[in-house]
Structure 1
Amino acid sequence: MVVPGVLIFIKSSIPAIRRTDLETHCEMFWIQIQTRDGPVLFGVFYHPPNSDATILEEMNAAISTIPGKYSIVLCGDFNVPNIDWSLATPTVSSPVNSTICSLVHDNFLTQLVSSPTRGDHILDLILTNNPSCVSNVRVVDNLPGSDHDAVEFDLSVSSDDIVQSSRVLLNYSKADLHEFQEVLSHIPCNCIPTDNGIEYAWQYWKDLFFSTATSVISTVKWKQSKMKQWFTSATLHLIRVKRRVYHQMKCLGSDLLKAKYKAISNLVHSQTRKDTSDHVTNLSKSYFANSKKFWNFLNSIKGRRHPIPPLKHNDSSVSNDSSKANIFNQFFHSVFTVEDNNSLSELRQSWKSTLN
C-alpha cells in the first residue's frame, strides 16, 4: 500500500484495511489490523522540512477522533529537531514544535526513539499510546541514498492474535454485465482530478469503479484454504487432482472414474499421514530449540476443549486432574534433566507413541 512519499509493506497473511478517514492533506498512510486484544492502527508519516504547522494540526485533529480502545503506532520522518523528548517539550519556540508537542500530550502518546537518527537530532519518531506493544527499538546504519539512519522495532502482535477476517469478493459469474456496462458508462471520467498526480487519479478512478461494481454485482465470501502448512507440494498436487476427479465422477458417474477416485483418495490419505508423521518427527527433534511450535501443533490436533483422558501410570489408571498434573510435572522434569542421547531418543519415541 502506497501514497506519494510513504509506503507500507504488508505480509499477505496479515489481513489489513486502509483507513482513509484518518488521512489528511499530507504524506500519511494508515492501516488497521484487528487483533484479539483490540484493533491496532499503524500509520506512517512524512513531514517535509520547513513546513508550517498546518499539516500537524490536521493530523492532531484526525488522531483525536480515534476511540480509546485502539492501539496507535505512528512512525515516520517528522523533521522536528528542537524537541526534548524526555519531557516532550520544545527547546526552541516555534509553531511547529509547539504543535507536535501538543499532538503528543493531547492524545496521550509516547515517543520511543531515544537515539539520534540524523546528526545529533532525533528526526524519525515512533509515537504510540500503548508502549507495551512496541519493543526492541533500535537505530541502525544509514539508509541507502539517505542521510537518515533507519529505525527498527518489533510490534508485539503475534500471528495467533490476529483475527482473520473473511474476504468478500465480487461474484462476476452471476452479474448482469449489460446493467454493469450501462451504469459504468455514466461515470464522469473526464471529471477525475489530475492535479495531484497520476497515483491520486488512479486511486480516484478505482474507487469510482468498485463503488459502481458493488452497487450492481452481488458479493460472495471467500473461504481460506485449511491446508496444513506442512503438506508437501506433491501432496497438494494430489489433493487438487482428487478434487478434479471427484467433480468428473459426479458429472459422468462412470465406474472407471469411481475406481480412479478411490485410488487417488487412498494415495492422498497415506501421503497426508506421512507428511504429518514427518512433521511430528521434526518437531520432536527441535523440541528443546523451540518448544512453542510443538505445543501449538499439539493443541491444534487435540483441541483445547477436549479433556485429558485417563493416564496409565505404574500399571494403574489415573483419572483425577490433580494426579494427572503431578504425573505430567514429573515427566516434564525428566525432560529437562535428560543428558545422554540414548535417553533423549527414548523420550522422542515416547512422545511419538503418545501422539499416535
Structure 2
Amino acid sequence: MRDTVVGVYYRPPDQDGEPDETFYRQLKVASQSQALVLMGDFSHPDICWEAYRARHVQSRRFLQCIDDNFLTQVVEEATRTGVLLDLVLTNKEGLVEDMKVGGSLGCSDHEKTQFRIMGSMCKTTSRIATLGFRRANFGLLRNC
C-alpha cells in the first residue's frame, strides 16, 4: 500500500500565536507527503465552511494555511452542539471516503466521526540491472 501519513491534532480553544504558527510549519512539511489525513478538534467554531469565511483572525489564518498547503476539509456535518469543530483534512482527492458523523464514545460531547482511508495496492518491480564487471572483456574496450 502507498505511504499515507495519518495525524491527530487537538487545539485548545484559547490557543493562539506561536503554538498555532508552530503547527502551521509542521503542517506544511506533512502536506508534502504523498497522502496525508489529519483529523482532530481544531477549535475554530466561527468558521463558516459553506462560505469559507471566519470572524476571528486565528480562524482566518487557519483557512489560509489550509489553502497554502492545498488541503481539503471533508467533514460536512456539525460535530459538537451544532458547530463543526472536528475536521478531517487531506491533500489528496478521494483518499477519504464514507464519511459518517453521529453517535458518541463514552461521555464525550462531540459526535463520533467515521471514515475510510482509501489506498491502492501496487506492487513495484525494479527494472534496474546490475552489470557483472567480473565477466567483462576489458581488452575489447582498450582496442577501440
Q: TM-score, normalised by structure 1?
A: 0.33
The one-letter amino acid paired with 1:82 is D
Match of 2:69 in 1: 107
Aligned residue for 2:78, secondary structure, equals coil
Identity of aligned residues (%): 31
Q: Within 2, Cα distance between the matches of 1:139 and 1:42?
A: 19
CA contact (8 A) 1:140 1:150 kept: yes
| 1:108 partner letter | F
State which of 29, 32, 35 in structure 2 corresponds to 1:65: 29
8 A contact 2:5–2:33 mirrored in 1: no
Kept in 2: contact 1:53–1:95 (CA 8 A): no
Give 1:80's match in structure 2, choosing from 26, 35, 44. 44
1:103 offset after TM fit, Å? 1.4
Q: Which runs of 4+ in 1 moved over 3 A?
A: 66-69, 160-163
SS in 1 for 2:64: helix
How far apart are the structure 2 equivalents of 1:134 and 1:126? 9
**Deviations 1:180-199 (CA, angstroms, capped at 9, x unpaired):** xxxxxxxxxxxxxxxxxxxx
Structure 1 unpaired stretches of 5+ = 1-33, 164-356
State the distance in 1 between where 2:78 and 2:60 align: 20
Superposition CA RMSD, Å: 2.1
SS of residue matched to 1:64: helix
- Residue 20 of structure 2 is matched in structure 1 by 56
2:78 and 2:49 mapped to 1: Cα distance? 11
Q: Is the 8 A contact 1:76 1:124 kept in 2?
A: yes
Instruction: Return the alpha-carbon distance in structure 1 between the equivalents of residues 83 and 123 of structure 2.
Output: 36
The residue that corresponds to 2:89 in the other structure is 127
- How far the C-alpha of 1:57 sits from its partner, in A, is 1.6
Distance 1:116 1:80, change over 3 A: same
Counterpart residue number, 2:130:
none
The AA in structure 1 aligned to 2:64 is: S
Alignment size in residue pairs: 124
Shift, 1:145, TM fit: 1.5
Asked whether 1:43 is paired with 2:4, we answer no
- Shift in alpha-carbon separation, 1:134–1:55, aligned structure 2, 3 A: same
Higher RCO, 1 or 2 (CA under 8 Å, sep at least 6)? Answer: 2
Aligned equivalents of 2:31, 2:70: Cα separation in 1:
12
1:79 to partner: Cα distance: 1.2
Partner of 2:78: 116
CA contact (8 A) 2:31 2:69 kept: no
